[in-house]
Amino acid sequence: MQPSGVLETVLYVDDLATAEQFYRDVLGLEPFVKADGRHVFYRVGDQVVLLFNPEVTRIPPGPGALPVPPHGTDGEGHLCFRASGAEIEQWKAHLEAKGVAIEADFEWPSGGRSVYFRDPSGNCLEIAEARIWGFAT
């Protein structure tokens, strides 16, 4: 048995309102599910990005709640978004225009470009060409 793909990716944020504003205003994502103080969910292609408040998701579910096990972490996570080479150049200009600092911008030795930056909670975000992992663009 082997999974057929990744369905969802989680990042933990310390301020959901600030994170939601960043992911909307900078990355153009609109939430499709929100629970004040707990989470904000986004569709990105055929996957979902979940932003959780770790202080709340560490609490075990109460009676009658969905039996999702407690989870959460401290520290910065990492998430990479896929883009073409031409789109990466546009993303870099867009991020800079929004006042987002670019931490790294480089071509991988095996081919493909990556641009790295941070969200307001310090999570390391990347926009990269799929060919850095040998996938078609």
**Tokens 């930056």, located at residue:** 117
Strand 39-44 versus strand 31-35 pairing type = antiparallel
The CA–CA distances, whole Å, from 42 to 38, 109, 111, 123, 131 equal 14, 32, 29, 16, 24
Render pLDDT for 14-27 as a digit per residue (tens, 0 to 9).
999 999 999 999 99
Whether 130 contacts 124, CB under 8 Å: no
Whether 113 contacts 131, CB under 8 Å: no
For the chain, which domains are there? 8-59+76-133 (3.10.180.10)
Render pLDDT for 64-116 as a digit per residue (tens, 0 to 9).
988 999 999 989 999 999 999 999 999 999 999 999 999 999 999 989 999 99
